[in-house]
Amino acid sequence: MSAALQNIAAVTGDLKALGSIGYGLAAIGPGVGVGIIFGNGTQALARQPEAAGLIRANQILGFAFCEALALIGIVMPFVYGS
């Protein structure tokens, strides 16, 4: 068991691109989140087209909050990387 773990540790130590895997995992949540935001926003627009300005402003705000997490994910590998 410990030999297999040592093997894995040795292999991943050589992998300098673990940051990209980290980002890929980090982008799952915000991907779903952005989809929910704009999906519900489109539905709201369809129900009440006269509220377009209000809905769009809230969509953009929600999108920015969600995107921030994905972008922190892309920056972290550079912070921790060599």
Partner 1 sequence: MSDVTTLAFETDCHIFDGCGFPAPGLHSFVFEPLFTVGGIDFNKPMLLALLGTLAIVGFFWAAFNKPKVVPGKLQLVGEAGYDFVRRGIVYETLGKKVGEKYVPFMVSLFFFVWMMNLWSIIPIAQFPVTSIIAFPAGLAAIVYIMWMYLTFKKHGFVGGWKNVTGYDKSLGPILPLVVVLEFFSNVLVRPFTHAVRLFANMFAGHLLLLMFTIASWYLLNDIGIAYAGVSFVMTIAMTAFELFIQAVQAYVFVLLACTYVQGALAEHH
80 part of the interface to partner 1, by CB under 8 A: no
Q: Assess 57 for contact with partner 1 (CB under 8 A).
A: yes
Cα–Cα dist 1/31, whole Å: 36
Is 72 an interacting residue with respect to partner 1 (CB under 8 A)?
yes
Q: Under DSSP, is residue 2 helix (H, G, I), strand (E, B) or coil?
A: helix
**Per CB under 8 A, 75 contacts partner 1:** yes
Sign of CA dihedral 21, 75, 69, 63: negative
Binding site for partner 1 (CB under 8 A): 57, 60-61, 63-64, 67-68, 71-72, 74-75, 78
